[in-house]
Homo-oligomer: A and B are copies of this chain.
């Protein structure tokens, strides 16, 4: 999940504790009902999901046999072909739909402090960091400059051109781990990630020769977090939290000079593929419900929580339906999006190709906030539409997914074009308290996913996806 804005998502635990919300969720308008057959099918799907390891095995393959899947990479290509083949095996109608996607390659990345207060003779200090995607390359031998530390854009502005020009700017803005642990991880993320997104641009405008941020995430284990940034014509990287603090502490004592070498390559866009796999509807094949996650990942880890998990629980929805011989009334479309992380080429191409069918897209679900326990759903749709889905609360209670949270924004960046066009958009609200510990790092690996929680997510996705595909009426927009 890329996400440069804090506004999309809101605190869940705060929400769960709020009396007004509790009142709202417990006293819906006159309760709609689902036909008994649909309820029975949803319960069967739920129970089958909660005992199935299909999603887990798919995640094993994507993360461990294929590995990291940055857009434009051979792994991303292999992953698209793999998912397509798996969906064909299930009998779905599968298309690899081409999209122009980014092609970014991390190069060498190293930094050291070469001058600082108290420096021992003949020594330097190693700085652990990760290039972020908008970075320009330094010369092979690196650049060397004084470092200036700020904590927000106002401090940068106050320094002005005179004190920024020719220097390396470090935005040392901590991710608020306490807020995250209180259930407001996305808010904490949003507050800090603006500096990853726009810091380099702001620094470059004042003449900085490079821009650094403190990694946006929790759990300080000398682990840098990469991610998207707006290209600003200067080198840009994220320091491990410990290194950001080191630089700040030393800079408070005197002059700090750093040699920084980053040699990323932003190559021309290449053709990548969204995997689009349809389980045709029995009554309204032209009506489409999307269940989706994004197949690309950052290069450092193996793309387990971001977002292999979202892809495999979408695949699991199809597998469950086929295994239980449950045919949706509308078409259930599994999409594995390409290049969510670094440009959104996949969703842009989908929007271009499918715009004529948008009015027939009944709803779109994207899971892109990890594989933590699913607390419920973000919903971008009118209250009347949310009300129609109330019968799902009973079905989902055993999964622990009982929150329907209305949101004014798209709950997933790949379904954003659909949502913009008025399609009801849904995201799974995963427990995100630890999500940003490993997000965009080398530690985004299979072991970070709990198999039981992944099954819960598969259940949530299958129940919501199938309900939308087979409920009597389509949702009001």
Contacts and interface: CB of A to CB of B under 8 A. Distances in A.
Given A65-B250, A66-B120, 19 more contacts: A64-B118, A65-B253, A67-B123, A67-B125, A73-B123, A74-B120, A77-B120, A78-B123, A79-B120, A219-B221, A220-B447, A221-B223, A222-B442, A222-B443, A223-B443, A240-B442, A242-B446, A245-B447, A246-B446
Contacts of A442: 128, 222, 240
B223 A78 contact: no
B242 A447 contact: yes
Contacts of A222: 223, 301, 441-443, 445
A437 B122 CA distance: 31
Nearest to A445: B242
A117 interface: yes
Interface in A299-355: 301-302
A253 B447 CA distance: 18
Interface in A408-443: 437-438, 441-443
Interface string A227-260: 0000000000000111001100110010000000
A75 interface: yes
Interface of A: 60-61, 64-67, 73-75, 77-79, 116-123, 125, 128, 219-223, 240-242, 245-246, 249-250, 253, 301-302, 437-438, 441-443, 445-447
Contacts of A75: 120, 123
A304 to B, nearest CB: 10
Contact of A120 (B78, B120, B245, B437): B78
Contact of A66 (B78, B118, B438): B118
Given A223-B222, A447-B242, A118 B65 contact: yes
Q: Would you list the 5 A-B pairs with minimal beta carbon distance, nearest first?
A: A65-B118, A78-B120, A221-B221, A222-B442, A222-B443
A445 B245 CA distance: 10
A122 B220 CA distance: 34
Given A221-B221, A222-B441, A60 B123 contact: no
A301 B221 CA distance: 10
30 contacts: A61-B118, A64-B249, A65-B116, A65-B119, A65-B250, A65-B253, A66-B118, A66-B120, A66-B123, A67-B125, A74-B122, A75-B120, A75-B123, A219-B219, A219-B221, A220-B447, A221-B223, A221-B437, A221-B438, A221-B441, A222-B223, A222-B445, A223-B223, A223-B443, A240-B442, A241-B447, A242-B446, A242-B447, A246-B302, A246-B446
Contacts of A78: 120-121, 123
Contact of A250 (B64, B73, B120): B64
A295 to B, nearest CB: 13
Max chain B Cβ within 10 angstroms of own Cβ: one of A78, A79, A125, A242: A242
Contacts of A447: 220, 241-242, 245
